Chains A and B, each alone.
Chain A
Amino acid sequence: MEMASESQRHTEAAPALLVKNVSHRFGDTLALDNVSLEVPRGTFVVLLGLNGAGKSTLFALVTRLYDNVSGEIRIFGYDVRRRASAALQRLGVVFQSRTLDLDLTLKQNLLYHCALHGIRGREARKRTARALEIVGLSDRARDKVRNLSGGQARRVEIARSLLHRPALLLLDEPTVGLDIGSRESVIRIVRSLVDNEGLGVLWATHLFDEVQSSDLVVILHKGRMLFTGSVPELLATTGTKDVSNAFRAVTGTTTTELAA
């Protein structure tokens, strides 16, 4: 694969995220089968896959919940196994499940997460304020998370993931369960981080309408990576007019399977 050469480059030029030839097995199940993908700096990459495609396993490996046993995973050139600390310092994650303490205020939650990265005092307060500003919730700093709507809580999760100023952001199905308005605002915030601040983003989803023509797309299906490239390439290869049909063509899934 062409991305193989990327890992040879110096860290300065290394992609935000490099996953190379990673397989992972749970008992008899092969959750990931020789997966390789890359998130270049300042790029919005959509990881498309249905439930059970292996997205969560991939996220668990990249966030080093457990180690990859084969292949390599590098964040800005830092191997997540050998240089875990350096890699994790450059990585922000928005998990699918909620991670905030409902009974604590937004500010208390965010200060706790600053502490998890060793950031304290005035600097922590400054970053908390800035992160809330980015997601448009500055006026809610002293509210309890319990009193937020689903969309607002999601935005706080994004603010949380930005506190240590990572240059790579991973989001696992960040819009699941949100209404249309909230979805749009979450997508807008993250896209502006890519466009204006140069973050690299890996956005896992099964919602095809979240893909824009300028994005890179990675299609993961039943643990195997079936396509990686730009949207025009995807449409050209499959001879289809939209991402949803292209996905069907690539994976051989039917409409009923997609709905499930």
Chain B
Amino acid sequence: MSLQSAATGQHDAQEAAPASATWDMDPPRLGPHAYLTCFKGIVWREVLRYLHQRERFLSALVRPLLWLLIFAAGFRQTLGVSIIPPYETYVLYEVFITPGLIGMIQLFNAMQSSLSMVYDRETGAMRTLLVSPFPRSFLLLSKLVGGVAVSLLQVYAYLAVAYFWEIEPPLYGYLTVLPALILSGLMLGSLALFMSSVIKQLENFAGVMNFVIFPMFFASSALYPLWRVKESSVVLYQVCLFNPFTHAVELIRFALYGQVDWTSLAVVLGCTVVFLGGAIYAYNPSKGLIARRGGPGAGV
């Protein structure tokens, strides 16, 4: 075709005109613009899907509010919180657990999107994502960012409601917490992504709740300061310290007051790299776990 067109001086596109409405023999090179389009498309789909699932939208807001309005109110008198950084005065228990609840929102969201990925795997939505001509790690990362975007919507909706419940971090805190939220969202999301590739049968959400969400949530600094935990059990204290979720919560807690907890930042960054690396490896077409197990959705 190219020889002929060179000889006749005709343009390729012209020659291919009758068929070009249906197919492209020479598709355009995928430049930075195309990458950006793909990225935005994937993120936008996650957000659109979320906004269309009213139940998910509501439960993501109601769950932390229940903890805040009922659990925290009940616990307020039982648990005295001393002045620990980043707080400069005595704070209400509600104020103390807000970063923990934000972490919980992100944890739930990550696990839910991981579950939806398993579901996607069964239906084929994951398959269409993976036949996109972009590099697979880029596709997975885009999907991950989409999940984080959804969690940001949830967190800010929660903070907006909580504001009327005397959870009033400094105004700049709403801005400084953003990078922390993105990081913690990425860490939890990549953990969930890794799980979605390794665990073949994430049958229902109850299993994930019992074996992942609850242990991570309770064995962390989300509901009680760690010095309190240490008083009752040193072992549990150690477990909490090794729990990446603790560090996600602490990162958020300090960021909400314009401060950086460097240890937590390092742990969250490190965990993100490890989990994400695992997920990308698991989805790698030649080395990954999917190739070895014959999934997703590919029976013999």
Contacts and interface: CB of A to CB of B under 8 A. Distances in A.
Q: Which 3 A-B pairs have the closest CB atoms?
A: A115-B41, A118-B34, A66-B291
Given A116-B132, A223-B300, 20 more contacts: A12-B2, A63-B130, A63-B131, A85-B30, A93-B127, A97-B123, A99-B123, A101-B48, A114-B41, A115-B42, A117-B38, A118-B35, A118-B133, A118-B134, A120-B33, A164-B24, A165-B24, A165-B27, A193-B22, A199-B23
B77 interface: no
Interface in B1-25: 1-2, 19-25
B114 to A, nearest CB: 18
A170 to B, nearest CB: 9
Interface stretch (A50-58, A176-184, A207-215, A229-237): A50-58
A66 B285 contact: yes
Contact of A99 (B125, B132, B285): B125
A112 B23 contact: no
A143 interface: no
A29 interface: yes
Contacts of B53: 103
B124 A95 contact: yes
Contacts of A66: 285-286, 288, 290-291, 294
Contacts of B297: 97
A114 B44 CA distance: 13
8 contacts: A12-B2, A26-B300, A52-B299, A65-B285, A66-B286, A116-B132, A117-B132, A166-B24
A135 to B, nearest CB: 12
Contacts of B291: 66-67
B37 interface: yes
Given A65-B130, A88-B132, A95-B127, A29 B48 contact: no
Contact of A103 (B2, B27, B52): B52
B22 A197 contact: yes
Interface residues of B, number: 51
B129 interface: yes
Given A66-B291, A103-B49, A117 B125 contact: no
B123 A88 contact: no
Interface string A159-178: 01010111100000000000
A54 B300 contact: yes
A9 B290 CA distance: 33
A162 B20 CA distance: 12
Contacts, number: 158
Interface of A: 12, 26, 29, 31, 52, 54, 56-57, 59-60, 63-67, 69, 76, 81, 84-86, 88-91, 93, 95-101, 103-104, 108, 111-120, 130, 134, 160, 162, 164-167, 193, 197-199, 223
B122 interface: yes
Contacts of B22: 134, 162, 165, 193, 197, 199
Contacts of A29: 300
B296 interface: yes
A56 B52 contact: no
Given A12-B2, A66-B290, A97 B122 contact: yes
A131 to B, nearest CB: 9
Contacts of A99: 123-125, 127-128
B45 interface: yes
Contact of A64 (B1, B40, B285): B285
A98 B293 CA distance: 22
B298 interface: yes
Interface in B58-78: none
Contacts of A223: 300
A85 B131 CA distance: 9
A165 B127 contact: no
Nearest to A51: B299
A67 B285 CA distance: 5
Nearest to B122: A97
A197 B25 CA distance: 12
B290 A65 contact: yes
A165 B125 contact: no
A167 B25 contact: yes
Interface string B108-141: 0000000000000011110111111111000000
B9 to A, nearest CB: 19
B41 A197 contact: no
Contacts of B127: 63, 65, 93, 95, 97, 99
B128 A116 contact: yes
Contacts of A64: 130-131, 285
A167 B44 CA distance: 28
A197 B22 CA distance: 7
